[in-house]
């Protein structure tokens, strides 16, 4: 009994004398985190100036009603039409790969991911048809670490600043099949696309040009390589110069077009206030 009493007294001293560590404060609610973050628009607006591929129809808007109704209240409505692949838009994998995801089949978790922004604006300024190489991607990784799984890889060529001047941005302001041969703009080299497929597990590739493949491409190998692996594309992205190389979360949400090969998309980035460039 004496030993038991001594043990109890010692245990009591230990409990009283050793305060439990304080639990960490819980993180703020997601809504509060988002409200405090910096939001960056990465989308060109849809309007009559929106650039489209030379063989596509332009975006058109028709006012069906705007004004006061006979019942005394204001009402406005418009019709619009346009291509799936015009303005800031998403290329669904089925665009260049049979039996791959259509627009509505892309999993939601693939439409949100960590941003990895590779700046090749200097190279693109020197060569309007520059193709981003695997060496460019590996040089970025040497500075910032591996491109994370599920990343939305953005290639910043500096081309967005030329929007909506078709001649400057696309290399031609002509329309029709013959104008396709006049296109000039940077893209991702097929060898780099293959390296991404073989070595990384990305969700998407986006860039501030009209196509994943550079302007002179006729076989669109980069599209075909990526989309065969259900990696979708984001084209005519805006404002990439405002993003940090890492630390942003990118959201790219297209309309839920059943059977779509793509579609206009609203792309935004969420950046912690300390992470903005």
What pLDDT does 68 receive?
97
208-225 pLDDT, tens digit each: 999 999 999 999 999 999
- Answer yes or no: are the C-beta atoms of 86 and 210 closer than 8 Å: no
pLDDT of 44 reads 98
Distances (CA, A) of 101 to 52, 261, 267: 23, 9, 19
Domains, the chain, ranges and CATH?
32-49+83-271 (3.50.30.50)
Pairing of strands 131-132, 89-91: unpaired
Residue with tokens 């893209």: 187
Strand segments (E) across 42-173: 60-68, 74-81, 89-91, 112-119, 131-132, 152-156
Report pLDDT for 5: 53
Length of the chain, in residues: 277
Contact 205, 153 (CB under 8 A): yes
**C-alpha dist (Å) from residue 228 to 48, 87, 193, 231:** 33, 24, 11, 7
pLDDT less than 70: residues of the chain = 1-21, 273-277
The residue among 21, 32, 209 whose CA lies nearest residue 123 is 209
The reported pLDDT for the residue numbered 173 is 96
Count Cβ atoms below 10 Å from residue 248 Cβ, excluding itself: 27
C-alpha–C-alpha distance, residues 75 and 64, integer Å: 10
37 exposure class (CB count in 10 Å sphere: 0-12, 13-18, 19+): middle
pLDDT digits (tens, 9 = 90+) for 141-188: 999 999 999 999 999 999 999 999 999 999 999 999 999 999 999 999
Q: What local confidence, expressed as pLDDT, does residue 34 receive?
A: 79
Q: In this predicted structure, what is the pLDDT of residue 35?
A: 80
If you count DSSP H runs as helices and E runs as strands, how many of each does the chain have, helices first? 7, 13
């Amino acid at each position: 009994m004496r030993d038991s009493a001594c043990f109890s007294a010692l245990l009591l001293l230990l409990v009283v004398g050793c305060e439990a560590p304080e639990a960490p404060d819980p993180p703020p609610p997601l809504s509060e985190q988002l409200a405090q973050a910096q939001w960056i628009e990465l989308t060109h607006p849809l309007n009559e100036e929106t650039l489209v591929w030379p063989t596509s129809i332009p975006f058109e808007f028709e006012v069906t009603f705007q004004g006061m109704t006979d019942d005394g209240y204001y009402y406005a409505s418009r019709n619009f039409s346009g291509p799936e692949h015009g303005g800031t838009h998403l290329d669904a994998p089925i665009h260049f790969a049979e039996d791959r995801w259509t627009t509505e089949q892309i999993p939601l978790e693939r439409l949100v991911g960590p941003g990895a922004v590779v700046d090749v604006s200097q190279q693109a300024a020197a060569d309007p048809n520059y193709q981003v190489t695997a060496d460019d991607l590996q040089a970025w990784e040497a500075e910032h670490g591996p491109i994370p799984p599920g990343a939305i890889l953005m290639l910043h060529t500096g081309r967005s600043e030329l929007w909506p001047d078709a001649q400057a941005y696309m290399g031609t302001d002509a329309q029709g099949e013959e104008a396709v041969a006049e296109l000039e703009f940077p893209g991702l080299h097929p060898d780099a696309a293959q390296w991404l497929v073989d070595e990384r597990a990305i969700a998407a590739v986006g860039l501030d040009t009209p196509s994943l493949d550079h302007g002179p491409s006729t076989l669109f190998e980069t599209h075909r390589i990526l989309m065969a692996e259900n990696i979708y594309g984001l084209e005519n992205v805006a404002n990439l110069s405002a993003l940090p190389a890492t630390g942003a979360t990118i959201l790219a949400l297209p309309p839920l077009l059943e059977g779509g090969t793509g579609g206009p998309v609203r792309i935004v980035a969420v950046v912690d206030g300390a992470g903005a460039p």
